[in-house]
């Protein structure tokens, strides 16, 4: 059926912290036990000053000419075009540790000159057309949760920068129950989309750690992968259609689930990070909301034993909805944090989380067979571990904020490889992080878990914690470069689900090679000939050949 008219979620959404993650009311001091652990293990002794207020944050001066600002305001409406200090600051950067460190230092921060909130696809098209003519860079903005510099364009050659916030494109537009499809606006946050669908008996099943604040458009633009990807699939698996606004027109893609009518152009847009266009609607596969959710924990004697067991389930089934495995270091840290994984004194080695969602009958059947296979692989059940993981699945970013405040440097990175390369990749990245940070006098704790599994391979998600130096941004960049070289040198991909942004751009171009880069540049030249969309994101800037020169002689310059 089709819904009678587009529906919007009614729930309120807390404004995200400007200098940290999530709801400011949920921020908490670092637990004393963990504080003692980082003092003893990492020699973290001094906390960092509290961040400046948002009013004190130094922003880049506004460059956008008045005539251009007035023209853009006329398109979206005066109330939907804002340039006040707070709204510029909140649209300036993402939520990587580097972003947060720069915000906490008080700036200066490169901020957009103007924030636009269009209300329709047609308004987005008109904004892009005017920005192309006037030489204005455009940064598409969803939830603001990028951790790879995806909101930090290289826009010096443009006459200004606008953030195009898709938050008003937040409707459930159509529901096709026969095909189990929903047409949704890109500005819907994860909880808002789920609320609209669960009210009608459905779910998308996409729950990344950024779920509470990230938008559907961002999920698609960065090829997001949720914690339940083993059962529901990655977000790019779920997108069966989309509409893209570009400076040269509209792309409407997805006439059927699969087609032999040439290359699948949906896959060209998915993962393009706003560099090719602005997603203005998504057609997403949905499933009946689960009748039952069941999460369990299992301890393996070694990481290799646990990985082999996960590989067996991924390749031969039954496939759980959620399947994760912490290495020895990450498991030990969880054991040192009471309440994190349940009955910790019964666990050892490496902890796996195995979850099932679906009908009661399906969950019971898959869980029984999986439990049998896991115990045959030397796994020991850990009572309470699964429920404890589910209860805290979105808490880690808040913990990062507390660690930064205490004087620790903490950040994450992720990669993916085939199973045959997984253990070499795990070792190489861990060694690169320990050697690079150790050489700076800040030996780290390096934690890792398998976060997403496939029949052919898996993703590794690393967390790094060490003492902060006086220049923590440069400190982390040194470690990140070493880790990136280890990833490429061991046959992994530079990113599995965080995206490319600016942080991974150089290594991404090396990963895919010059011919592939040239092909992507040709696509950008066709869709965005003046290079206004997220310049420097995904691809290094300077490859465009502007088709217009009107902005060079515009009377308002």
CATH architecture of 292-391: 2-Layer Sandwich (3.30)
The mean pLDDT value for 52-58 works out to 91
The mean pLDDT value for 278-303 works out to 97
For 395-451, the pLDDT digits (tens) are: 999 999 999 999 999 999 999 999 999 999 999 999 999 999 999 999 999 999 999
Residue 11 is predicted with a pLDDT of: 64
- 225 CB-near residues (< 8 Å, 6+ apart): 208, 234, 235, 451, 452, 459, 496, 497
CATH architecture of 396-509: 2-Layer Sandwich (3.30)
Question: With 90 as the cut, is the pLDDT of residue 7 above it?
Answer: no
Mean model confidence pLDDT for the chain: 92
Rounded-to-integer distance, Cα 207 and Cα 216, Å: 11
CATH level 3 topology of 171-288: 3.30.465
For 114-168, the pLDDT digits (tens) are: 999 999 999 999 999 999 999 999 999 999 999 999 999 999 999 999 999 999 9
Consecutive H or E run containing 209: none
Q: How far is CA 231 from the centre of its chain?
A: 19
Report yes or no: 380 and 346 within 8 Å, Cβ to Cβ.
yes
Q: How many CA atoms lie within 13 A of 192 on its CB side?
A: 26
**Whole-prediction pTM value?**
0.93
For helices 505-512 and 514-527, angle between their N-to-C axes, nearest 10 degrees: 110
The mean pLDDT value for 291-301 works out to 97
The mean pLDDT value for 194-219 works out to 97
Domain residue limits, the chain: 171-288, 292-391, 396-509
Supply 120's token pair. 């329709």
Rounded to 10 degrees, what is the CA torsion of 207, 115, 501, 451? -10
Question: With 60 as the cut, is the pLDDT of residue 543 above it?
Answer: no
């Amino acid at each position: 059926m089709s819904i009678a008219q587009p529906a919007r979620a009614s729930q309120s959404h807390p404004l995200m912290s400007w200098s940290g993650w999530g709801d400011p009311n949920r921020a908490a001091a670092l637990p004393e036990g963990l504080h003692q652990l980082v003092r003893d293990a990492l020699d973290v002794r001094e906390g960092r000053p509290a961040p400046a207020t948002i009013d004190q944050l130094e922003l880049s001066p506004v460059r956008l000419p008045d005539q251009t600002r007035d023209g853009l305001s006329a398109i979206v409406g005066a109330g939907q075009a804002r340039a006040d200090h707070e709204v510029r600051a909140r649209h300036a950067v993402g939520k990587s540790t580097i972003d947060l460190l720069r915000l906490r230092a008080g700036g200066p921060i490169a901020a957009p000159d103007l924030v636009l909130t269009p209300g329709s696809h047609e308004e987005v098209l008109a904004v892009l057309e005017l920005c192309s003519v006037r030489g204005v860079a455009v940064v598409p903005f969803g939830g603001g949760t990028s951790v790879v510099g995806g909101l930090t364009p290289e826009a010096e050659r443009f006459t200004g920068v606008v953030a195009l916030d898709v938050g008003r494109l937040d409707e459930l537009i159509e529901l096709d129950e026969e095909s189990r499809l929903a047409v949704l606006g890109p500005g819907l946050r994860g909880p808002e989309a789920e609320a609209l669908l669960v009210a009608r008996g459905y779910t998308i099943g996409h729950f990344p750690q950024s779920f509470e604040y990230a938008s559907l458009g961002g999920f698609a633009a960065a090829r997001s992968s949720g914690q339940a990807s083993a059962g529901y699939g990655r977000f790019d698996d779920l997108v069966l259609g989309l509409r893209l606004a570009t400076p040269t027109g509209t792309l409407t893609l997805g006439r059927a689930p699969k087609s032999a009518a040439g290359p699948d152009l949906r896959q060209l847009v998915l993962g393009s990070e706003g560099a090719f266009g602005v997603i203005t609607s998504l057609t997403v596969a949905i499933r009946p909301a689960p009748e039952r959710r069941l999460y369990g924990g299992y301890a393996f004697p070694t990481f290799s034993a646990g990985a082999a067991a996960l590989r067996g389930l991924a390749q031969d089934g039954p496939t759980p909805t959620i399947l994760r495995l912490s290495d020895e270091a990450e498991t030990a840290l969880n054991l040192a944090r009471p309440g994190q994984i349940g009955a910790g004194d019964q666990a050892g080695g490496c902890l796996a989380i195995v979850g099932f969602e679906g009908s009661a009958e399906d969950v019971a059947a898959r869980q029984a067979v999986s439990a049998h296979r896991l115990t045959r692989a030397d796994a020991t059940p850990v009572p309470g571990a699964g429920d404890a993981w589910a209860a805290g699945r979105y808490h880690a970013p808040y913990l990062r904020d507390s660690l930064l405040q205490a004087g620790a440097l903490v950040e994450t990175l992720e990669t993916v490889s085939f199973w045959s390369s997984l253990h070499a990749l795990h070792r190489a990245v861990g060694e690169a992080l320990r050697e690079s940070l150790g050489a700076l006098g800040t030996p780290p704790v390096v934690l890792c878990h398998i976060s997403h599994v496939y029949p052919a391979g898996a993703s590794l998600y690393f967390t790094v914690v060490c003492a902060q130096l006086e220049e923590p941004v440069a400190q982390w960049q040194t470690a990140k470069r070493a880790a990136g070289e280890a990833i490429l040198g061991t046959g992994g991909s530079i990113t599995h689900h965080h995206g490319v942004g600016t942080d991974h751009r150089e290594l991404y171009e090396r990963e895919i090679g010059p011919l592939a880069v040239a092909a992507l540049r040709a696509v950008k030249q066709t869709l965005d000939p003046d290079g206004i969309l997220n310049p420097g994101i995904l691809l290094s800037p300077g490859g465009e050949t502007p088709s217009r020169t009107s902005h060079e002689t515009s009377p308002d310059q």
